[in-house]
Amino acid sequence: MSAPRRRTRTAPAGTVVAYVRVSTDEQVASGAGLEAQRAAIEAEAGRRGWTVVGWHADEGISGGKAIEARPGLTAAIEAIEDAKASVLMVAKTDRVARGLRTLLDVIDRAERAGGAVVSVDGTIDTSSAAGRFQTQVMGGVAELERAMISDRTKAALAIKRAQGVRLGRPSTLPREVVIRIVEARGRGASLPAIAAELTAGGVPTAQGGAKWYPSTVRAVLNGQDAERVRTEAAA
């Protein structure tokens, strides 16, 4: 993840960079989801007397993906960090992220740069004192969640070791690749099919190789990172 940049100059108050997202090809093709989000953002910005100075979109991308895997969201955050806008606005909080930790990362980067994050549905508004307090509470919940997941992961790994299961070392693969492999296997995809998909997609192996093999996929699935992903998913 890229390091947050602190603002060295100030964006004009009430300037908005808008972010919209749809997750399926059908939504992208229809355009309905994007247009509804744009209309909601424009209406809310107008109500507050703010000006939308830029738009960024991620089309056909899941809200569960990391910030760096979403070029539209990355560009929107960087607009705040580069003082091109003072507010990052979305129609709904889930357009930013499906998970609390990613949402808090976005808010943190915006606030470090002196900006705010606002959702039209009212669930997030760090431009107000009450909204910032709500974010602090959410941060505490996320910290507790991380600690509980860590405890469950350690317990699960200890049980597997006690059962004689040999777990591989932590992977050097990006987390989103490990998640992709675990989810594909969970859907019933075979090891050869997963290997073929990763190879076709140009995803490098942990060693930087261009070709995946069933044995390579199996090693990832048997590793500690995959076990953590499975534990978190079951949480």
How many Cβ atoms are within 10 Å of 221's Cβ, its own excluded? 20
- Tell me the C-alpha distance between 211 and 192, whole Å: 12
DSSP symbols for 73-117 = HHHHHHHHHTTS-SEEEESSHHHH-SSHHHHHHHHHHHHHTT-EE
Distance of CA 26 to the CA centre of its chain: 21
Residue type, 8: T
Give the residue numbers marked as catalytic. Answer: 23
In this structure, how many other beta carbons lie within 10 angstroms of the beta carbon of residue 45? 21
The DSSP bridge partners found for residue 59 are 22
Distance CA 123, CA 19 (A): 16
Q: Alpha helices of 163-213 — where are they, by DSSP H?
A: 175-186, 191-200
Torsion angle (degrees, nearest 10) of CA 87, 93, 98, 100: 70
Give the C-alpha separation, 110 to 100, whole Å: 15
Q: Which of 55, 53, 57, 67 is nearest to 4 (CA)?
A: 67
